[in-house]
Structure 1
């Protein structure tokens, strides 16, 4: 180890972001040479609304060597195969955004292109969603683990994530991290000391004048951004012009039925509501724009929409969608809400923490804190945020709703060019190009574009070299196989048992 190597890492803030950082860094780095400290206060609550995840969470747990059964018992988790969107395309309409692909490609051409061509050439009547095993499993409330050892099996293509109690997950990771040698300090940060020459954060001062020195600091202090903003004045890029949601109420409610293997996202006149099934309770929330709905009306909407008795007083969250102008500034890396906020419509918050950590470990610095390294980290992270931003905007602008001032406002949005181009490609011939390093696959884009009623004018002309009769047989065989496979899966509740 050279004199320039990092030996002290300080994480400011606990919660899901802080303890994910502590657990992964402690697991990957040499504990004999690098000390990792985490500062948090039990007097400062966490947001705690993120209870739904997307499939990359499996890789995070796998990296740490966390067994699924132990993890699910500790966090009261259930399985998640997708998200059901109700009232988005129009009032009374619903569809499921599944994890995983629609059918299988035919000679390198996406399956949905054959479905589109068959609709126009032969008036094919079956739904595109009949070609998703995850959609059929959600509708039947079934679940099965992927059969990775049998790549030819229809079950090899299963993708899933979890619903879990974020507070219990943070506690589980805290115990994991402390076993790995992470030192936890209970206290509130009162002051931050900067190095007068470099401008880097040198130490944080806690109550009773306790001083914690560090070399690399990870800011997980939530919206306040104590280091990235409070000390370094990094600045923030706001996306309210495209995503006007700025508030939410969240509350847990009693469990009333066996949990389903998907999240629910239900649009209303000024935003949307979520329902997340855990083993022991349900998570509920109402996301809204305060310009179009009052706090009192939003709270009333949340409580009137519950399926069961609330277990606590609803918690309000105020936010501005967007991100820090730099995620890595000086010797501070921001994660979680300290880095930015993307509304939880597609359950991306925990995944963004995960990818930020993966990027940090790939670009682990020494005390020089190379500008080249920080620039690459920031550029890649901004790209990721922008790709997610576009996908979230799509849910709103693809709607045909015009029944409230909010939805009328949405219809007048001027779109980012990147999204405008993506929608135009699909509207022209059903083409969906993968974003470079994009979190969401073409199948996810297809689910939302098609689910909300956007109909392409044409289709890929390469499909024309296949006779209509042959395509019909292949599609029917694919659809029937998926239907049989879904029906043969165990019930979700049985899989949890």
Structure 2
């Protein structure tokens, strides 16, 4: 997504473009909406530029495995002690706070504050402290993914491809040495073996890795901080990879924790504010991803018919009605996705 056209203080660019649509090209010459987006035009022409005072939006295609190794080395170089082991038991104080983690080798790791990064299992927040999970799969029906890396064929294009299919969508992310591919799908509409075969039939280049099927449940923990445990990453919840928001949410969780860090002791007011901010942010991102499905014009498959006909979250329904009535989009200062992104979807 990128900046589209030129706004005016009286209205957004979409208002002028829609007015031109109503009047017709004979009276007001104009092109498709995407013709006024520099990022889209550059991508379609295989171009990108590093310019002084650059206004073009961009993002990086990263090798996630190498990035994780880099961050681990960086952290250990700054004094972080890495203890490798499997959690066998979570030990709690009488009041409910976590006292220590007992590992499979019998050793204990004590602490005053614990960050739950145990993935979908959420061993600390979900299992030990009993924080419930809100299932959002009625809005986000894709619950499975299969991924494979392939050899590069030709020069990499400067963008990610997201390709819709009857039972989900496919990603294609070019890196310098290889291409990351995946199929996100609804298990109610496609089996695992069928998904593997379909993906291999829709990639370019030799497969370099085995096809792994990942299962997930879209949703969010009721709170992400309870007592002396803060969940970050998959332990707190997961949407789906359509907008690649996982790394952003991890970084925002870390930044937010530092801003609310309980240096003088854990305060309930800090916990409440942290949880409020997390909930606000994740629901805005959820609504934006749901919009990709709900705004579809496809009626050729059960998945897409469900998405078009389902009742969206009330917060998204409000945005949609506002846009239908006035073509206006309002964005809170802290929201991740800008007005241009909402309008383009």
Indicate whether the TM-score tops 0.5. yes
Question: 2:262 is matched with which residue?
Answer: 365
Residue 160 (1) aligns with residue 58 (2): yes
- How far the C-alpha of 1:416 sits from its partner, in A, is 1.2
Residue 251 (1) aligns with residue 148 (2): yes
- How far the C-alpha of 1:368 sits from its partner, in A, is 3.1
Question: 2:73 is matched with which residue?
Answer: 175
Residue 210 (1) aligns with residue 107 (2): yes
- How far the C-alpha of 1:237 sits from its partner, in A, is 0.6
Residue 394 (1) aligns with residue 291 (2): yes
Higher relative contact order (CA 8 A, sep 6+): 1
CA contact (8 A) 1:238 1:322 kept: yes
- How far the C-alpha of 1:139 sits from its partner, in A, is 0.7
Question: 2:20 is matched with which residue?
Answer: 118
Task: String of CA shifts for 1:25-59, please: whole Å, max 9, x gaps.
Answer: xxxxxxxxxxxxxxxxxxxxxxxxxxxxxxxxxxx
CA contact (8 A) 1:189 1:207 kept: yes
Alignment of 1:232-311 (within 5 A): 232-311=129-208
CA contact (8 A) 2:192 2:213 kept: no
- How far the C-alpha of 1:367 sits from its partner, in A, is 5.7
Residue 329 (1) aligns with residue 234 (2): no
Q: Give the counterpart of 1:409 among 285, 297, 306.
A: 306
Question: 2:36 is matched with which residue?
Answer: 131
**SS at 2:82's partner residue?**
strand
**SS at 2:335's partner residue?**
coil
Cα distance in 2 for partners of 1:284, 1:275 equals 5
- How far the C-alpha of 1:164 sits from its partner, in A, is 0.9
**SS at 1:162's partner residue?**
coil
Cα distance in 2 for partners of 1:360, 1:446 equals 32
CA contact (8 A) 1:272 1:287 kept: yes
Unaligned runs of 5+ in 1: 1-97, 149-155, 449-497
Cα distance in 1 for partners of 2:64, 2:262 equals 30
- How far the C-alpha of 1:436 sits from its partner, in A, is 5.5
Structure 1 stretch 119-128 or stretch 284-293: which is displaced more? 119-128
Cα distance in 2 for partners of 1:336, 1:145 equals 32
CA contact (8 A) 1:115 1:124 kept: no
CA contact (8 A) 2:92 2:100 kept: yes
- How far the C-alpha of 1:380 sits from its partner, in A, is 1.0
- How far the C-alpha of 1:170 sits from its partner, in A, is 0.6
Cα distance in 1 for partners of 2:228, 2:93 equals 11
Residue 189 (1) aligns with residue 87 (2): yes
Alignment of 1:23-62 (within 5 A): none
Task: String of CA shifts for 1:110-153, please: whole Å, max 9, x gaps.
Answer: 222222223323343312211111111101111122522xxxxx
Cα distance in 2 for partners of 1:305, 1:416 equals 33
- How far the C-alpha of 1:104 sits from its partner, in A, is 2.5
**SS at 2:305's partner residue?**
helix
Aligned residues: 342
Cα distance in 2 for partners of 1:126, 1:202 equals 63
Q: Give the counterpart of 2:120 among 223, 226, 239.
A: 223
CA contact (8 A) 1:204 1:213 kept: yes
- How far the C-alpha of 1:428 sits from its partner, in A, is 2.3
Question: 1:441 is matched with which residue?
Answer: 338
Task: String of CA shifts for 1:162-212, please: whole Å, max 9, x gaps.
Answer: 111111101001111111100111211111111113x11111111221111
Cα distance in 1 for partners of 2:13, 2:309 equals 33
Structure 1 stretch 167-176 or stretch 201-210: which is displaced more? 201-210
Question: 1:52 is matched with which residue?
Answer: none
Cα distance in 1 for partners of 2:138, 2:21 equals 37
**SS at 2:184's partner residue?**
strand
CA contact (8 A) 1:228 1:333 kept: yes
Task: String of CA shifts for 1:64-112, please: whole Å, max 9, x gaps.
Answer: xxxxxxxxxxxxxxxxxxxxxxxxxxxxxxxxxx2x3112322453222
Residue 106 (1) aligns with residue 5 (2): no
**SS at 2:299's partner residue?**
coil
Q: Give the counterpart of 1:427 among 289, 300, 324.
A: 324
